[in-house]
Amino acid sequence: MSVLLSWEGMLALLLGGFYGAVFGAIPGLTATLAVALFIPVAFFLDPIIALPAIIAISSVAIYAGDVGSAVARIPGTPASAAYLSELHRVARKKGPFYGLGISAMGSAVGGIIGTVLLIFSATTIATLARQFSSFEYFWIAVLGLAAGIFASGGSPIKAFVSLLLGLLMSTVGIDPTLGHPRFHFGSPDLLGGLNYIVAMIGLFGFSEVLEHLFNNKEEKYEAPQKVDGAAKQFYLQPLLLIMREKWLVLRSSILGVFVGFLPGAGADIGAWVSTSFQQMRKKGSTEEEEEDQEDDRIILAGTSSNNSAVASAWIPALSLGLPGDTVTAIVLGVFLMKGITPGPLLFEQQPDLLWSLYLTFLIANLVLLPFYGFLTARMAAFLIKVPFKLLLSFITGLCIVGAFAINNSVFDVWIMAGMGLLAFLLRRGGFPLAQVVLGMVLGPIMEQNFMVSAIKSKWDLMSFFERPLALLLMGATILVIFLGIRYRKRFQQAASSS
């Protein structure tokens, strides 16, 4: 811990946070890619400095993915897509400082809650995670998909169609269980599947360009152009909102922790489930002020769940040696490179390393997120002042660069453009886009765990209902569907009576 508090440790945290802020704000350049590119540098650093730097990078980069959502409706991560429309509306109506302030402060509070739970319950929660098999992971994916149907705020039927489209796209490429090529149409570039980050850039970014070219209208931001009181908008007002909605933040953070500690689940599913529950709680009021408050609550639910899951994803990594998400999977490689073996003995043999990680999470959420969050909000405030036609060209360039940067492939640029055209057509029919991404993210998880479970049970489908935890998750899925239909009917009645 003394190494972390040295000038070298503080410099690593500051530079890591800055790197994550810049990297995450560019569409297509995700937190995972930022950490992956940092690994060659991490190899030459002391683990007590390298691992905290990785935490700072991932924590800030995941928040910075919301900058594209606020300015240009381009989510930086699949989790950001869960509350994309709400964040973009708030940034336009009340200014990017307020919108991104909710995101940053919500992420910080959620991350602190997740860190506290990580410190006091890592071994206990890891014991529960050890009970999960492929049957439980299948039901977790189904639960996420069921919640996603009701997260659009529109027609559940259209959301279901979008979800099915995303699931269909997730089947392109090599079968994850049996290794058979599917839907590649003779193209070797499709054998690796459709990258959901590339698809997301096209669905949200390039489709926005096509939408404005088709409508041929100038975008007018309602947000005030002056930055007077920017700190008040970014810090004070979101913190007052968090105090008013403290139970929402606590509930969403705990839900994010629960989902995050499941190996392979990560922050994306946690954000989707949290925003879906909050969407179902909407009262359907047509008052503009009430609608604005609902948007604030949905953003708060998604961001607090998002970063609490980032912290809890380290629980299975530290306790069991199982990656909670792609970032911790990379970190496990760093552990092994440094001769550190994750597992129960790590808590006894490397206490200094563990407390350095805990302290880093607290510093990242208490200091780095608010500081770099404010800098990225200033950048967003500058971007919305740019003439919109010029901004449209800038967005197009970012879409092309972001899609190409994922795999250094021109083919991905064409996939991005095709996804943009598809999204343009879907928007004409009123079909939500975020559910397409959700289907692409959860589809492989659901398919692989279904096939593994079916094969090991010799295709006895009743085995999916025999384990107590599987039954509990199945019950939660049914409850989500029941509540979703009930609240959706209430929302439609309120809307029709207005």
| Positive/negative CA dihedral, 230, 234, 236, 237 | positive
Give the list of residues 6+ apart from residue 150 with CB closer than 8 angstroms, or none. Answer: 156, 159, 276, 279, 280, 480, 484, 487, 488
For 164-223, the DSSP string reads HHHHHHTTSEE-TTT--EES-TT-GGGTT---HHHHHIIIIIIHHHHHHHHHT------S
Q: Which of 101-110, 165-174, 177-186, 417-426 shows the lowest per-residue confidence on average (mean pLDDT)?
A: 177-186
**Separation in Å, CA 66 to CA 36, 78, 99, 101, 303:** 20, 10, 9, 11, 9
Query: What's the pLDDT score for residue 168?
Result: 92
- pLDDT per position as a tens digit, 453-479: 888 888 888 888 888 888 988 888 888
- pLDDT per position as a tens digit, 167-179: 999 899 888 777 7
C-alpha 318/C-alpha 350 separation (Å) is 11
Residues 100 and 234: beta-carbon distance below 8 Å: yes
**Confidence class for position 369, pLDDT limits 50, 70, 90:** confident
Q: What is the DSSP letter of 30?
A: -
Q: What is the mean pLDDT of residues 341-349?
A: 67
**Confidence class for position 318, pLDDT limits 50, 70, 90:** confident
| pTM of this structure | 0.68
Query: What's the pLDDT score for residue 164?
Result: 92
Residues 104 and 59: beta-carbon distance below 8 Å: no
C-alpha 498/C-alpha 496 separation (Å) is 6
Question: How far, rounded to the nearest angstrom, does the alpha carbon of residue 302 sit from its chain's CA centroid?
Answer: 8
Query: What's the pLDDT score for residue 64?
Result: 81
Residues 256 and 312: beta-carbon distance below 8 Å: yes
C-alpha 84/C-alpha 264 separation (Å) is 23
- pLDDT per position as a tens digit, 52-109: 788 888 778 878 878 877 877 777 676 777 788 888 888 888 888 888 888 888 888 8
Query: What's the pLDDT score for residue 165?
Result: 92
Burial class (CB in 10 A: 0-12, 13-18, 19+), 204: buried
Q: Which secondary-structure segment (H or E) carries 80?
A: helix 78-81
Which of 155-169, 266-280, 369-383, 384-398 is predicted most confidently?
155-169
Tell me the angle at which helices 246-260 and 237-244 cross, rounded to the nearest 10 degrees.
80
The residue among 74 and 410 whose pLDDT is bigger is 410
C-alpha 132/C-alpha 256 separation (Å) is 17
Q: How big is the chain, counted in residues?
A: 498
C-alpha 249/C-alpha 85 separation (Å) is 20
**pLDDT at 159 exceeding the cut of 80:** yes
Q: What percent of the chain has pLDDT over 70?
A: 77
Query: What's the pLDDT score for residue 196?
Result: 74
For the chain, the average pLDDT equals 77
Residues 205 and 72: beta-carbon distance below 8 Å: yes
Phi-psi region of 388 (alpha: psi -120 to 50; beta: other; left: phi over 0): alpha
Query: What's the pLDDT score for residue 379?
Result: 77
For 432-467, the DSSP string reads -SHHHHHHHHHHHHHHHHHHHHHHHTTT-GGGGGTS
**Separation in Å, CA 216 to CA 39, 89, 422, 427:** 45, 20, 19, 16
